C-alpha cells in the first residue's frame, strides 16, 4: 500500500513537472509546439486513445499500431518480414505466408496501409498493405490484428502504387514502379522502350470474407507508376494513378526521367475493365504467383502457386484508360472527399495541380485529346484543370483532407505541411515539420468522411529531435492539431522502420471486436491437443511429433526420451488457457529457429533438429504466472541409430 502511495505521489509530481515545464519553457523547449500541447496529448494511465493509427514500417516490412493523440506504440503486426519474437515465418503454421514464386522470402518493404472501405469510409474490417520489393499485397484482419492473406503480383516490380482500394473495397489495386518485359525475359536493358511494359493489377476482394483474387491486369506503357487513389461518389468507377518517367529512361532516372515538363495521372475506368473482362476481351497469359492464405479454423497457412492472369490491352479496350498531363514527376495522387478533385503532387513542380473529374469526363465525351500513347488518349492539361495552388512550397508529395473544405499537402523539400482551401486553392496556413515530411495522415483523410481533428506528419529525417543513438537514428511522426484555423504541433513520436503512408480510424470502430482468446472448441488445427490426457509423442520414421499442451504453469509432457540425432522433431504446442492475455512461450536449446509465442486456445508448431546426444532443456519464454520459472522440461536425445524407446510422462 505504501509503495502504491509513493508511486502515485511520484507520478503526480512528474505530471506536475511536465505541466510546469510545458508552460514555462514553451516554444524554446518544444520548437513549434503549442503551449498546451502536453495536456492535449496526455492520455491518463488506464485511459484509452481516441484513434488507432496504423503506420507502415517501410523497410521493417511490418505494420505498427499506435494510439492517437498519445503516440504510444501498442503492437507491431508482422506482415512481410519474419518476426522471431512472434514466430512469424518461423513456425510451421506461418512459414507458407512468406512463400513467393521465388521461394521463401524473409523480408520486404511495406509502404502503404489502406483500410477497407464501405461507401467510401473505413469500415474497420481489414487493412491492406503492399510489399514493394517482391510485389505482394497483404490483408490484415482488424479483429485480431494478424496477417491473413498475401497475394503475389506477377508481371510487376516495385509494387508502389498499391494497395489502394475502390470505394467499397471492390478491388485493391497495384501498379508497377519498374516496368519489365511482360512476360519477363532475357533482353537487353537498352531495349527498354521496345520491350518494357508496366502493369496495373486489380485484385478483387470478397465483401464478407475479404478473400483476394487477382482479377485482371492492364498492360500500360513502360512508365513508372507511383501512387494511386480511388474515385468516390461521382467518380466511383474510376481509379487514378500518378506516373513519372514518361521519358522511358532506363538509366540515371534522376536526370533522364526529369526532362518532360509534364508527366501523367492515369485515369482508369475499372467498371469498363470489368465489362471487357466479362466479354472475354482479356488475354490469359502464363504468370506464376503465390497466393498464401491463413485459415482461422485450422490455424494454419497454406501457399498455392497459381498460374495465369488475364491481361487487358488499352488499344483493344477503348475507354478503360486516359492520361491526364500533370506537372513533372508527380508522386501523390489524392482524391478529395467529394470525388470531384484529383490532386497531383509534382515533386519538381512549382504548383499543386488540382484536376477536375467532371472536366475530365467532359473532355473524354468531347474527344478532346492531344495525342495517343499506345492506344491511350492523352487529355489536355488545361481542359481538365480545376485550379492550381500557387507557391505552395517546395516538393509537394501527398495530400489529405479534413472534410471541412481544406486540403493538407506534405512538402518534402521545404519540410512543411501546407493547408489550402479546396474552394479557391489559396494557401491558408503552413507548419514546419522536423524534418522532410513524406506522407501525412488525417484519420479517414483519404475517405469520404474524414475525422479532421489531427494531421500526422511522417518524417524522413529527425537529426536533432531525439537523443542521438549513433549514426542510425529513429524516424518519427509528428502530431498536429487541425481543429482550429492554424495547425498546432502537439507531439513528436518515434516510429519503427521508416514510416511511409499511414491510416487512422476512431478506436470505437474496432475496439470492441478485438479477439481476446481463440476458443479451444473451435481450434481445428490438425495437431491440436485439447486436453492434457491427449498429450502424446509419435514417431513416423525419423519424424517425431510431440503433441504438447501449455497451461499455467507447466508443459505436458515435460520429460521426453527416445529422440535421436537425425530426427526431425515437431513440437505441436496448444495453449490450453482460455483467459485474456495469458500467452505461453516455448523455446528449446540449440534450436536453429525462433521461439513460439502461443496465444490462449492456439496451436503452433516449431521444428527442431537436435544435433548432439544429451539432455536438451526447454522452457516457457513468456512470464505467464508466478511459477513461470518452473515451467520447463527436458528432452533426452540419444545417438543416431540407438534403440532408445520413445517415452514421455
Partner 1 sequence: MKPLARLLVVLGALSPLLLFILPMWSIELEAPQYPPPYGLGMKIYINKIEGKKENDLGNINNLNHYIGMKRIEPDSIKELKIMPPLVIALSVIGLAAALIGKRKVVIGWLVIVAIAGCVGLYDFYQWEVDYGTNLDPHAIIKIEDMTYVPPLIGTKVLLNFTARSWPDTGFMVLGLGMALTVAACFMKPRVEPS
Query: Which residues make up the interface to partner 1 (CB under 8 A)?
Result: 517, 519, 551-552, 577-580, 626-627
If the CB atoms of residues 464 and 508 are measured against partner 1, the closer one turns out to be 508
If the CB atoms of residues 48 and 466 are measured against partner 1, the closer one turns out to be 48
Q: Give the three-class secondary structure for 522.
A: helix
Using alpha carbons, select from 400, 409, 490 the residue that is nearest to residue 451. 400
CB 583 within 8 A of CB 598: yes
Instruction: Provide CB contacts within 8 A for 458, sequence distance 6+.
Output: 55, 437, 438, 439, 440, 441, 475, 476, 477, 495, 499, 500, 501, 502
If the CB atoms of residues 312 and 551 are measured against partner 1, the closer one turns out to be 551
What is the closest distance, in whole angstroms, from the C-beta atom of residue 198 to partner 1 in the complex? 52
What is the closest distance, in whole angstroms, from the C-beta atom of residue 533 to partner 1 in the complex? 14
What is the closest distance, in whole angstroms, from the C-beta atom of residue 45 to partner 1 in the complex? 13
Place of cell 506504440: 73
How far apart are alpha carbons 331 and 342 in whole angstroms?
13
What is the closest distance, in whole angstroms, from the C-beta atom of residue 296 to partner 1 in the complex? 18
452 class by beta-carbon count within 10 Å (0-12 exposed, 13-18 middle, 19+ buried): buried
What is the closest distance, in whole angstroms, from the C-beta atom of residue 578 to partner 1 in the complex? 4
CB 262 within 8 A of CB 327: yes
CA-based end-to-end distance of the chain: 43
What is the closest distance, in whole angstroms, from the C-beta atom of residue 299 to partner 1 in the complex? 18
Place of cell 520429460: 559
What is the closest distance, in whole angstroms, from the C-beta atom of residue 524 to partner 1 in the complex? 18
What are the Cα distances from residue 203, in Å, to 217, 230, 318? 9, 14, 21
What is the closest distance, in whole angstroms, from the C-beta atom of residue 7 to partner 1 in the complex? 13
CB 100 within 8 A of CB 134: yes
If the CB atoms of residues 306 and 530 are measured against partner 1, the closer one turns out to be 530
If the CB atoms of residues 398 and 556 are measured against partner 1, the closer one turns out to be 556
How far apart are alpha carbons 526 and 146 in whole angstroms?
20
If the CB atoms of residues 343 and 576 are measured against partner 1, the closer one turns out to be 576
Pairing of strands 614-619, 146-152: unpaired
How far apart are alpha carbons 303 and 305 in whole angstroms?
7
What is the closest distance, in whole angstroms, from the C-beta atom of residue 492 to partner 1 in the complex? 32
If the CB atoms of residues 545 and 552 are measured against partner 1, the closer one turns out to be 552
How far apart are alpha carbons 579 and 417 in whole angstroms?
46
CB 542 within 8 A of CB 568: yes
Fill in the DSSP letter of residue 234: G
What is the closest distance, in whole angstroms, from the C-beta atom of residue 44 to partner 1 in the complex? 16
The neighbour count for residue 281, using CB atoms within 10 Å, is 16
If the CB atoms of residues 538 and 579 are measured against partner 1, the closer one turns out to be 579
Q: Give the three-class secondary structure for 161.
A: strand
Instruction: Specify the DSSP element, H or E, that contains 578.
Output: none
If the CB atoms of residues 517 and 589 are measured against partner 1, the closer one turns out to be 517
How far apart are alpha carbons 441 and 505 in whole angstroms?
10
What are the Cα distances from residue 152, in Å, to 101, 170, 275, 280, 449? 8, 18, 24, 24, 31
CB 497 within 8 A of CB 58: yes
Angle at 278 between CA 272 and CA 282, to 5 degrees: 85
Looking at 201-287, list the stretches that DSSP marks H as alpha helix, in order from N- to C-terminal side.
253-256, 270-278
Using alpha carbons, select from 59, 148, 152, 173 the residue that is nearest to residue 102. 152
What is the closest distance, in whole angstroms, from the C-beta atom of residue 600 to partner 1 in the complex? 9
If the CB atoms of residues 205 and 550 are measured against partner 1, the closer one turns out to be 550
If the CB atoms of residues 154 and 601 are measured against partner 1, the closer one turns out to be 601
Q: Give the three-class secondary structure for 109.
A: coil
Q: Is 532 left (phi over 0), alpha (psi -120 to 50) or beta?
A: alpha
What is the closest distance, in whole angstroms, from the C-beta atom of residue 360 to partner 1 in the complex? 54
If the CB atoms of residues 341 and 551 are measured against partner 1, the closer one turns out to be 551
Using alpha carbons, select from 424, 452, 448 the residue that is nearest to residue 338. 448
C-alpha cell at 510: 474496432
What is the closest distance, in whole angstroms, from the C-beta atom of residue 517 to partner 1 in the complex? 7
C-alpha cell at 199: 502493369
If the CB atoms of residues 191 and 649 are measured against partner 1, the closer one turns out to be 649
If the CB atoms of residues 514 and 647 are measured against partner 1, the closer one turns out to be 514
What are the Cα distances from residue 50, in Å, to 15, 47, 53, 458? 21, 10, 10, 19
What is the closest distance, in whole angstroms, from the C-beta atom of residue 11 to partner 1 in the complex? 17
If the CB atoms of residues 123 and 558 are measured against partner 1, the closer one turns out to be 558
What is the closest distance, in whole angstroms, from the C-beta atom of residue 72 to partner 1 in the complex? 20
Amino acid at each position: 500500500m505504501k509503495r502504491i502511495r509513493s508511486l502515485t505521489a511520484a507520478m503526480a509530481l512528474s505530471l506536475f513537472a511536465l505541466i510546469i515545464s510545458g508552460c514555462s519553457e514553451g516554444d524554446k523547449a518544444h520548437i513549434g509546439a503549442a503551449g498546451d500541447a502536453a495536456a492535449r496529448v496526455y492520455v491518463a494511465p488506464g485511459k484509452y486513445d481516441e484513434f488507432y493509427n496504423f503506420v507502415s514500417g517501410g523497410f521493417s516490412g511490418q505494420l505498427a499500431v499506435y494510439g492517437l493523440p498519445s503516440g504510444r506504440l501498442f503492437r507491431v503486426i508482422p506482415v512481410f518480414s519474419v518476426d522471431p519474437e512472434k514466430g512469424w515465418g518461423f513456425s510451421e503454421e506461418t512459414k507458407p505466408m512468406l512463400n513467393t514464386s521465388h521461394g521463401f522470402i524473409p523480408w520486404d518493404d511495406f509502404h502503404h496501409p489502406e483500410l477497407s472501405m464501405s461507401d467510401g469510409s473505413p469500415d474497420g474490417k481489414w487493412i491492406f498493405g503492399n510489399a514493394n520489393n517482391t510485389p505482394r499485397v497483404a490483408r490484415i484482419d482488424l479483429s485480431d490484428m494478424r496477417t491473413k492473406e498475401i497475394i503475389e503480383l506477377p508481371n510487376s516490380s516495385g509494387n508502389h502504387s498499391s494497395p489502394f482500394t475502390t470505394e467499397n473495397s471492390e478491388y485493391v489495386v497495384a501498379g508497377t514502379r519498374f516496368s519489365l518485359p511482360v512476360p519477363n525475359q532475357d533482353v537487353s536493358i537498352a531495349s527498354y522502350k521496345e520491350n518494357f511494359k508496366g502493369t496495373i493489377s486489380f485484385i478483387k476482394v470478397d465483401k464478407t470474407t475479404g478473400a483476394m483474387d487477382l482479377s485482371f491486369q492492364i498492360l500500360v506503357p513502360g512508365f513508372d507508376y507511383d501512387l494511386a487513389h480511388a474515385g468516390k461518389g461521382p467518380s466511383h468507377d474510376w481509379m487514378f494513378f500518378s506516373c513519372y518517367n514518361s521519358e522511358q529512361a532506363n538509366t540515371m532516372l534522376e536526370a533522364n526521367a526529369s526532362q518532360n515538363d509534364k508527366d501523367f495521372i492515369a485515369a482508369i475506368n475499372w467498371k469498363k475493365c470489368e465489362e471487357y473482362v466479362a466479354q472475354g476481351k482479356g488475354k490469359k497469359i502464363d504468370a506464376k504467383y503465390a497466393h498464401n492464405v491463413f485459415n482461422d479454423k485450422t490455424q494454419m497457412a497454406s501457399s498455392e502457386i497459381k498460374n495465369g492472369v488475364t491481361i487487358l490491352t488499352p488499344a483493344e479496350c477503348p475507354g478503360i484508360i486516359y492520361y491526364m498531363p500533370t506537372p513533372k514527376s508527380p508522386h501523390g495522387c489524392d482524391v478529395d472527399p467529394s470525388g470531384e478533385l484529383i490532386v497531383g503532387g509534382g515533386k519538381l513542380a512549382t504548383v499543386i495541380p488540382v484536376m477536375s473529374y467532371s472536366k475530365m469526363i467532359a473532355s473524354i465525351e468531347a474527344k478532346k485529346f492531344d495525342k495517343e500513347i499506345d492506344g491511350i488518349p492523352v487529355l489536355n492539361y488545361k481542359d481538365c484543370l480545376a485550379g492550381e495552388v500557387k507557391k505552395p512550397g517546395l516538393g509537394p508529395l501527398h495530400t489529405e483532407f479534413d472534410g471541412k473544405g481544406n486540403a493538407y499537402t506534405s512538402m518534402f523539400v521545404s519540410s512543411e505541411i501546407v493547408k489550402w482551401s479546396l474552394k479557391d486553392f489559396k494557401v491558408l496556413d503552413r507548419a514546419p515539420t522536423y524534418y522532410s515530411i513524406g506522407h501525412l495522415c488525417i484519420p479517414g483523410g483519404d475517405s469520404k468522411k474524414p475525422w479532421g481533428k489531427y494531421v500526422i506528419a511522417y518524417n524522413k529525417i529527425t537529426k536533432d529531435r531525439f537523443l542521438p543513438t549513433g549514426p542510425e537514428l529513429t524516424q518519427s511522426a509528428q502530431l498536429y492539431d487541425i481543429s482550429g484555423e492554424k495547425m498546432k504541433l502537439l507531439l513528436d513520436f518515434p516510429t519503427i522502420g521508416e514510416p511511409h503512408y499511414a491510416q487512422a480510424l476512431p478506436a470505437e470502430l474496432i475496439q470492441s471486436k478485438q479477439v481476446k482468446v481463440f476458443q479451444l472448441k473451435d481450434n481445428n488445427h490438425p495437431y491440436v491437443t485439447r486436453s492434457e490426457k491427449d498429450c502424446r509423442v509419435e514417431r513416423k520414421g525419423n519424424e517425431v511429433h510431440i503433441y504438447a499442451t501449455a497451461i499455467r504453469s507447466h508443459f505436458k509432457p515435460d520429460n521426453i526420451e527416445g529422440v535421436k540425432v537425425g530426427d526431425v522433431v515437431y513440437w505441436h504446442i496448444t495453449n490450453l488457457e482460455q483467459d485474456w492475455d495469458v500467452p505461453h512461450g516455448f523455446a528449446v536449446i540449440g534450436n536453429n529457429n525462433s521461439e513460439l509465442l502461443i496465444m490462449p486456445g492456439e496451436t503452433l508448431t516449431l521444428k527442431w533438429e537436435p544435433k548432439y546426444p544429451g539432455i536438451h532443456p526447454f522452457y516457457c519464454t513468456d512470464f505467464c504466472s508466478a511459477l513461470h520459472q518452473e515451467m520447463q522440461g527436458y528432452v533426452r536425445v540419444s545417438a543416431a541409430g540407438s534403440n532408445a524407446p520413445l517415452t514421455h510422462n
